[in-house]
Structure 1
């Protein structure tokens, strides 16, 4: 279907402190994530990843570089690079991310 009423899709729990909703195409994917305060991630994957912070604040790293992300900030993670978040905002973190190719665990 070429049009999705994304605002009407409910968030689905991915794991403790993380929920998401997504739309997935053949070669790319758009995901909205909600992270609760205290959630930490540290991983790598073969997908290229681009994100935009909607609300909240997090410490963010790619390889050996660390940044503070806030609403309005965007980032790019090349495929295979180690990266992660530490959610430091009391209200958590909400962001939009795109993946290419599709990340199977984010299929709604």
Structure 2
């Protein structure tokens, strides 16, 4: 009798009653998150395949397209400073006229 009443009156006994329910809910949420991640991966791979892309190399394809685009090209001010540097080197005699022309062509062609 004393043992029975003291167990139910112990602090934290309500928490221990809720623990299996909370643990179960958290476990279900974790499993649902894993299922969603797997679903999203499969869906994205299907979309890429339908678009004619290789899902295994898409990151390299995007990186290559970005490098070939105008996004990473130097701005006009950078081009002007590079051309001025080439002219300065040619005037100081550090490079020949042919090297200057080749460097200017390389800079202007991108």
TM-score by length of 1: 0.20
Larger Cα Rg: Structure 1 or Structure 2?
2
Instruction: Say which structure is richer in strand.
Output: 1
Q: Whose relative contact order is higher, 1 or 2, with alpha carbons under 8 Å and at least 6 apart? A: 1
TM-score, scaled to structure 2:
0.20
> Could you say which structure has the higher helix fraction?
2
